[in-house]
Amino acid sequence: MGAVGRLPGGGLAKGLAVTLRTMTRRSVTRQYPEVPPDLAPRSRGVIALLEENCTVCMLCARECPDWCIYIDSHKETLPAEGGGRARTRNVLDRFAIDFALCMYCGICIEVCPFDALFWTPEFEYAEYDVNELTHEKERLREWMWTVPPPQAPDASGEPPKEIAAAEKAAARAARRPGGGSA
């Protein structure tokens, strides 16, 4: 290619070659509404709420940089079975995420200690009214059906710390004569 470019008129030939080569390649256009896009794994589309796991600890709402999570709750007292002190329990009244404010940082999902929040790759929830971008807990619960299964660990990656530690302990026990008890 470099030699062609130096001949007189070589630049012109080069230009023609570029366009011809591009024509023989597949075009980069995505036929989006007809063909769904192939999203990357762990795409951040929308946040789903597994209401059953939520304990109203408020960690997500407090950590949210945009303050776009709204939580209302009340306490219920359950009489303990077979006597004893009555137990109190948090009941979730409202859990809403305003996706007009959300910046998809995922901190709420990271911080949730009870696995109540999940990413899902669904992204087609644009609305004509900005108020409708606030998804209440029923809608957030519906998104749960679209949560993909967790990705399998990378086969060539390092094993998780827990497994590595357990294997090391097992190997040490096997090396020690007498079954390992002191």
Partner 1 sequence: MPDLLVIVLKLLAVAAGFAVLPLLIGQAEHKVMAHMQGRLGPMYAGAFHGWAQLVADGVKFAQKEDVVPAAADRRIFKLAPGVALVPYLLVLLVVPVGPHGQVALDLGPGLFFALAVMGVGVIGAIMAGWSSANKYALLGGMRVAAQLMSYELPMVFAASSAAMAAGTLSLSGIVEEWHWWWLPWQAVGAAVFFVAGLAELRRPPFDMPVADSEIIFGPYTEYGGLRFAFFLLAEYAGILVLCALTTVLFLGGWRGPFLDTELGWLWTLVKVFALAFVVIWVRVSYPRMREDQLQRLAWAWLVPLSLAQLALTGAVRVLAA
Which residues of the chain form contacts with partner 1 (CB under 8 A)? Answer: 12, 15-16, 18-20, 22-23, 25, 27-29, 31
Smallest distance, partner 1 to C-beta of residue 124, A: 20
For the bound state, the minimum distance from the C-beta of residue 29 to partner 1, rounded and expressed in Å, comes to 4
Supply the minimum distance, in Å, between the C-beta of residue 98 and partner 1: 36
Q: What is the largest CA-CA distance in the chain?
A: 100
DSSP letters of 120-139? E-------SSGGGGEE-HHH
In the complex with partner 1, which residue's Cβ is closer, 18 or 58? Answer: 18
Phi-psi region of 167 (alpha: psi -120 to 50; beta: other; left: phi over 0): alpha
Query: Among residues 20 and 155, whose Cβ is nearest to partner 1?
Result: 20
* Closer CB to partner 1, 34 or 81, in the complex: 34
Q: Which is it for strands 87-98 and 69-78: parallel, antiparallel or unpaired?
A: antiparallel
Distance separating alpha carbons of residues 182 and 176, to the nearest angstrom = 10
Q: How far is the CB of 142 from partner 1 (least distance, A)?
A: 32
